[in-house]
Structure 1
Amino acid sequence: MNKTYYSLLVATMLVCGQSVADDSIHTGEGTFYGYGGGGNCSFPLPDDSIYTAAMNATDYNNSAACGAVIEVTNTKTNQTVTVRIDDQCPECAKGDVDLDQDAFAEISPLEAGRIPISWKYVANEQAGNMKLFFKEGSSQWWTAVQARDHRYPITAIEYRVSGSGNSYANLERKPYNYFVKADGFGVGPYDFRITDFWGQTVEVLSVPLILTNEIDTATQFPVHQGDGSSGDTGGSGDDGSTPPDDNNTPTSDNIAVSEATDSSWNDGYCETVTVTNNNDHGVVWAVTLDITGSVYNLWDGQWSQSGKTLSVTGASWNDSLSAGASTTFGFCANR
């Protein structure tokens, strides 16, 4: 397939909405089938470097799993393989994954037929820039668009006509992995706001309605701390830093905080907060902020609010900071 690339103005920000990330370990049975392309996710046939799989109907969840990359482990042998979800397995039980034949062969002899597995969502390490693709037949009167090559699963695509000044409108997700507006987007170009399952968003502006070609967004979701890719926190670091204290009581002593506004509008705003441990030893951190308004969403931390005071401690993956180390959390608030 020919690919046409357009120069697009792109801004990356954190979403002001509820994250639905799934960092749990799933269990079920692994099987295989002869994948020939054209799966339920409506993706083009992948190249030979990408293994694929069909997700059970429950976890497929109306195409929410499409394009997700999962690491599958044969629990008998501990052999693993990484696959992209391109299809649905309607008859598979919750937790089951139907692997393409080559992927199955990486973790089991084919003659086994059915094996016990565990699996988890991981970042798509092969993703370059995210792409947008309009379904054939799309027009200003009926429009369907999908995202491709995203680092994490997509939870929402919103649109507006560029330059209209309108708020973004949510699009209906279909089981065949397109986001659709039955009466069309109107005359383009369009702006899109795309949200992943960590609650991260990217905004892609001035996208023309071009059929049969992938449109390069020139952007990608950032790597998220909570996806399991962060390093080991045990023992002394290679840089000689001291590991976090064995005392797990959160402390705010010698903890520096800096705030940056990601987006702001009449009724609310979103911020990213950087927390830095200025101690010469590791700590489990806690901070308080004086803020305007009421927080309605906060990610990468645990929080409570009393009046104008926002109290935050770390999440399970970022609550411990070695000497000199930093982490971030973000929040959105109504004014």
Structure 2
Amino acid sequence: MTRSRVFGIRAAAAVAALALVGGGVYFAQSSSAANPAAEPAATGSTVSAAATDSKDRIKFGKKYQGVATSYAADGSGACNFKPGGSMMIAALNAPDYQGALMCGAYVKVTGPGGKSIRVKIVDRCPSGTGTSGCRVNQLDLSRQAMNKLAPGQGKINVTWRLVSPKLKGPVQYVYEKGSTKWWCGVQVRNHRNPIRTVEFKTAGGWHKVARRDYNFFESKNGKGCGNTIRITDVKGNRLVDKGIKISTKVQKGKKQLPAV
């Protein structure tokens, strides 16, 4: 099945209020920012069960049964990863996509004959019951992935589950185009487990930034942009990386998340 999907990246710009004080100019930040959290645990630590996946649709240790279809994937899509790289990728139905929580996650897919493949989630498949939509528990595999799992097939019954594979290198960060110290968005890449939260270090503590459904975490008033970043995965594992500058170039962290 061939489908084409177009997802736009929001062109965001920082909006700051200018005020004149004693002949000088300053940028007034919004007062609606979330209160900073407490100081962090050590790098590589684990937080309490409150940060785990108890309310998520897709969880480690659970098997899902559905169908798999295929489409002409190129690596891009709703998760806003760049085209190219490995084509062992897939789009996930909208409910299981969970507002981009599953972007960059890995799932093991098993076909009717028992053969299995591993794919990375890079896109969201539109909801629907026709040939152009996906139901709950449905995966839309790249043609390359489908060919490895079931050559010559367009739609098959599958089971699949979330996995935590060994990856080459540490986690990576990239800032959204247009980011400044007054507004910014950051994306986490090359992570073995789904990312729950991203926080920026500020003078007052940690500032949790909002996740957007196109897979960027945004600080609307620039609070903490271009500073130390703390990420927490769906199992509560944390990493803290210093010196992540505002740049659209990929920057490497120090470590990779632990296996689940």
TM-score in same-fold range (> 0.5): yes
- Equivalent pair of 1:62/1:175 in contact (CA under 8 Å): yes
Q: 1:215 aligned to 2:215?
A: no
Q: 1:68 aligned to 2:94?
A: no
Q: How far has the Cα of 1:36 moved from its partner? A: 2.1
Q: How far has the Cα of 1:207 moved from its partner? A: 2.1
- Equivalent pair of 2:109/2:117 in contact (CA under 8 Å): yes
- Equivalent pair of 2:43/2:238 in contact (CA under 8 Å): no
Letter in 2 for 1:216: K
Indicate the residue corresponding to 2:32 in structure 1: none
Q: 1:19 aligns with which of 26, 46, 52?
A: 52
Secondary structure, counterpart of 1:60 in structure 2? helix
User: Which deviations, in whole Å up to 9, do the C-alpha atoms of 1:257-300 show, x marking residues without a partner?
Assistant: xxxxxxxxxxxxxxxxxxxxxxxxxxxxxxxxxxxxxxxxxxxx
Matched ranges for 1:312-331 at <5 A: none
User: Which deviations, in whole Å up to 9, do the C-alpha atoms of 1:89-118 show, x marking residues without a partner?
Assistant: 0221110000000000111123x3110011
Letter in 1 for 2:159: S
Indicate the residue corresponding to 1:93 in structure 2: 135
Q: 1:113 aligns with which of 137, 154, 163?
A: 154
Q: How far has the Cα of 1:22 moved from its partner? A: 3.1
Q: How far has the Cα of 1:218 moved from its partner? A: 1.6
Q: 1:193 aligned to 2:235?
A: no
- Equivalent pair of 1:158/1:192 in contact (CA under 8 Å): yes
Q: 1:34 to 1:189 in 2, by over 3 A?
A: closer
Letter in 2 for 1:153: P
Deviation >6 Å, runs of 4+: none
State the distance in 2 between where 1:88 and 1:145 align.
20
- Equivalent pair of 1:68/1:124 in contact (CA under 8 Å): no
Indicate the residue corresponding to 1:34 in structure 2: 72
Secondary structure, counterpart of 1:12 in structure 2? coil
Q: 2:218 aligns with which of 180, 186, 189?
A: 180
Which protein has greater RCO, CA pairs closer than 8 Å, 6+ apart? 2
State the distance in 1 between where 2:79 and 2:168 align.
17
Q: 1:134 aligns with which of 166, 175, 182?
A: 175
Q: 1:103 aligned to 2:153?
A: no
Unaligned runs of 5+ in 2: 1-41, 54-58, 128-133
State the distance in 2 between where 1:89 and 1:189 align.
33
User: Which deviations, in whole Å up to 9, do the C-alpha atoms of 1:59-114 show, x marking residues without a partner?
Assistant: 1000000000100011x21111100000000221110000000000111123x311
Q: Percent identity?
A: 29
Secondary structure, counterpart of 1:222 in structure 2? coil
Which has the higher Rg, Structure 1 or Structure 2? 1
- Equivalent pair of 2:171/2:256 in contact (CA under 8 Å): yes
- Equivalent pair of 1:132/1:147 in contact (CA under 8 Å): yes
Matched ranges for 1:213-252 at <5 A: 213-224=249-260
State the distance in 1 between where 2:65 and 2:233 align.
23
User: Which deviations, in whole Å up to 9, do the C-alpha atoms of 1:8-63 show, x marking residues without a partner?
Assistant: xx921112442114320011110000002321101122424x51000110110000
Aligned length: 207
Indicate the residue corresponding to 1:79 in structure 2: 115
Secondary structure, counterpart of 2:117 in structure 1? strand
- Equivalent pair of 2:60/2:163 in contact (CA under 8 Å): no
State the distance in 1 between where 2:121 and 2:158 align.
16
- Equivalent pair of 2:107/2:163 in contact (CA under 8 Å): yes
Q: 1:206 aligned to 2:243?
A: yes
Q: 1:151 aligns with which of 181, 186, 192?
A: 192
Structure number with higher strand proportion: 1
Unaligned runs of 5+ in 1: 1-9, 225-335
State the distance in 1 between where 2:165 and 2:200 align.
25
State the distance in 2 between where 1:180 and 1:212 align.
14
